[in-house]
């Protein structure tokens, strides 16, 4: 189906001569530079559950070294297979390759299989059963599964001779009788671009052969870039192919001209209606895309704003942490100062209590000394009559007493001064104690405030993290929305491309119908049917 070159000659080089005798069916596999798929195609053919068949591989002058190497490997690996044969020819195109393969094959039934496609193991057996039991059936076809670059299922319709003139719905890989191929003189070598199988089916239909549909997937058709099927849909190529097929089967198309024109006209109208709907859908899609793009941009802007807010919250949180650290350090310093003040206060209170004790002892000693002095003076006055020695003693005692009194007065003054200092110390201690208590209370309040600010900072940090997470989610949503918008735009562009292709096809079909209406065949048909239309009152 793909990759064939131009026809150089009709000379065939037979590498392996097929033995004498006959088989019921033959699978013919033409190959041109498709060695990478040939193993799959050949494996599907050799796995057939039909008993009496052969496989003929036709190398259509492959130039690819990999393909030639694979063919040689297959020959070596499968040399023991009695139903497998290889033929090599110069590159002449798919039609000639199939014709030479069928001509060399011995089967009554033929199944053409391209080198990049695959068949079901049951296809040949089920088709042979139908052909054996229905002599008028010449072609058996089935549902198709797409593989390669395209997936899907093609449920071919039940055969309709008139619909076959419009489009080919019978797969090229179908089982047909050798008599069909002989009646139609084989595949047309002039259709090197494609549609050679469609031409064969129209020829079989013209000769009265019936077609039978098996409503099962028994054939896998590979779609790859640059396939012959795609080249057939190029307007210039399709125009030439349709023109050639219509001229070749002129009588059939003239006899069904009314049906062909009406169906083509309906097809054009349907295509035009679909084109209008596609245009409306495309315009609506453009509007939706604009809205989606605007929403995506807004989401992106919101995400950026949220991200900036999150960054600002992060910076504010970092600054708050520093402030909290400073406040905590100050609170700890205040607490340390309060502890030091409390320790000094306790030491001062302890020193004051010891001083009170010392003052009390000194006062007691002073009172005792004064009492002793009074007693000594009284004794001295009573003993005035004593002797001079006694007077000296009294003088000494009096001096001692006066000294004691002086000492007592000095002690008393010191006591009074100590009392005044103690009172002042008590006041200072009271003030220090009050200040310490106030510092302790302030430290507690500062610690509470620090705790509250820390908790607030933790909550704000959590809020900042949530805002940052929301910003990231918003950014992700914005990116997804942007991606969806891009995909929608791509789909819209593909829709525009398909619409342009549809419009181009519509123009081609309109040109084709215009050319058909102006053709000699159409005018001849109008002239021949004029008496009938005259009798019916038509122009």
Domain count of the chain? 2
pLDDT for residue 165: 95
Residue 86, classed as helix, strand or coil, is: strand
Closest CA to 28 of 64, 55, 8, 59: 55
The answer to the question of residue 386 being in a domain is: yes
Same-domain check for residues 439 and 319: yes
CATH number at residue 354: 1.10.287
Q: Residue range 51-74: average pLDDT?
A: 94
Same-domain check for residues 217 and 328: no
SS3 content of the chain, % helix, strand, coil (to 5): 70, 10, 20
Same-domain check for residues 221 and 352: no
Distance CA 215, CA 28 (A): 23
The full DSSP string for 269-283 is HHHHHHHHHHHHHHH
- 123 has pLDDT over 90: yes
Which residue is listed with tokens 């490997």? 73
What confidence category does residue 8 fall into, taking pLDDT thresholds of 50, 70 and 90? Answer: very low
102 and 73 Cβ atoms separated by less than 8 Å: no
Which helix (H) or strand (E) segment holds residue 119: the answer is: strand 118-119
Q: Which of 472, 496, 519 is the last residue of a domain?
A: 472
The answer to the question of residue 520 being in a domain is: no
pTM of this structure: 0.54
- Which residues neighbour 303 within 8 Å (Cβ) at sequence distance 6 or greater? 471, 474, 475, 477, 478
Q: Which of 192, 214, 229 is the last residue of a domain?
A: 229
* Residues spanned by the domain of 465: 314-472
- Which residues neighbour 122 within 8 Å (Cβ) at sequence distance 6 or greater? 48, 49, 216, 218
What confidence category does residue 428 fall into, taking pLDDT thresholds of 50, 70 and 90? Answer: confident
- 213 has pLDDT over 80: yes
Same-domain check for residues 33 and 181: yes
178 and 107 Cβ atoms separated by less than 8 Å: yes
The answer to the question of residue 392 being in a domain is: yes
Range in 388-402, 439-453, 505-519 the model is least confident about: 388-402
Q: Which of 212, 229, 246 is the last residue of a domain?
A: 229
- 249 has pLDDT over 90: yes
Q: How far is CA 475 from CA 315, 471, 486, 488, 516, in A?
A: 20, 6, 16, 19, 60
> In this structure, how many other beta carbons lie within 10 angstroms of the beta carbon of residue 297?
14
pLDDT digits (tens, 9 = 90+) for 129-168: 999 999 999 999 999 999 988 899 999 999 999 999 999 9
Q: In degrees rounded to 5, what are phi and psi of residue 223? A: -110, 120
């Amino acid at each position: 189906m793909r990759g064939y070159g131009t026809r150089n000659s009709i000379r065939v080089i037979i590498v392996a001569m097929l033995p004498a005798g006959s088989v019921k069916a033959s699978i013919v596999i033409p190959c041109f530079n498709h060695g990478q798929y040939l193993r799959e195609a050949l494996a599907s053919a050799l796995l057939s559950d039909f008993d009496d068949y052969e496989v003929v591989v036709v190398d259509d002058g492959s130039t690819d070294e990999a393909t030639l190497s694979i063919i040689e490997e297959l020959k070596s690996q499968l040399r023991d297979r009695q139903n497998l044969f290889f033929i090599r020819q110069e590159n002449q195109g798919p039609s000639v390759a199939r014709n030479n393969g069928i001509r060399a094959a011995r089967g009554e039934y033929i199944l053409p299989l391209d080198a990049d496609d695959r068949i079901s193991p049951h296809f040949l057996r089920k088709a042979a059963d139908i052909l054996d039991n229905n002599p008028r059936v010449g072609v058996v076809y089935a549902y198709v599964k797409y593989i390669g670059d395209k997936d899907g299922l093609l449920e071919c319709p039940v055969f309709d001779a008139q619909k076959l003139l419009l489009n080919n719905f019978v797969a090229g890989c179908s089982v047909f009788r050798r008599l069909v191929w002989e009646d139609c003189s084989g595949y047309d070598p002039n259709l090197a671009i494609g549609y050679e199988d469609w031409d064969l089916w129209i020829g079989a239909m013209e000769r009265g052969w019936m077609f039978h549909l098996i409503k099962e997937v028994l054939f896998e058709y590979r779609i790859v870039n640059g396939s012959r099927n795609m080249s057939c849909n190029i307007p210039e190529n399709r125009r030439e192919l349709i023109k050639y097929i219509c001229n070749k089967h002129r009588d059939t198309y003239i006899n069904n001209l009314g049906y062909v024109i009406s169906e083509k006209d309906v097809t054009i109208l349907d295509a035009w209606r679909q084109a209008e709907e596609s245009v409306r859908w495309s315009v609506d899609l453009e509007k939706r895309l604009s809205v989606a793009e605007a929403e995506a941009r807004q989401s992106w802007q919101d995400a950026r704003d949220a991200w900036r807010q999150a960054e600002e919250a992060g910076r504010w949180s970092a600054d708050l942490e520093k402030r909290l650290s400073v406040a905590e350090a100050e609170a700890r310093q205040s607490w340390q100062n309060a502890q030091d003040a409390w320790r000094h206060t306790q030491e001062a209170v302890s020193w004051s209590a010891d001083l009170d004790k010392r003052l009390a002892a000194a006062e007691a000693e002073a009172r005792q000394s004064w009492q002793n002095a009074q007693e000594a003076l009284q004794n001295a006055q009573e003993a005035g009559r004593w002797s001079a020695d006694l007077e000296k003693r009294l003088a000494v005692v009096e001096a001692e007493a006066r000294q004691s009194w002086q000492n007592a007065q000095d002690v008393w003054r010191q006591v009074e001064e100590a009392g005044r200092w103690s009172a002042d110390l008590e006041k200072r201690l009271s003030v220090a104690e009050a200040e310490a208590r106030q510092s302790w209370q302030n430290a507690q309040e500062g610690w509470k405030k620090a705790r509250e600010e820390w908790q607030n900072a933790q909550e704000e940090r959590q809020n900042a993290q949530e805002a940052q997470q929301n910003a990231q989610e918003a950014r992700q949503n914005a990116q997804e929305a942007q991606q969806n918008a891009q995909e929608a735009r791509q789909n819209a562009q593909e829709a525009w491309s398909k619409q342009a292709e549809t419009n181009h096809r519509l123009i081609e079909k309109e040109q084709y119908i215009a050319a058909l209406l102006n053709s000699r065949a159409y005018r001849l048909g109008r002239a021949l049917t004029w008496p009938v239309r005259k009798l019916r009152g038509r122009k």
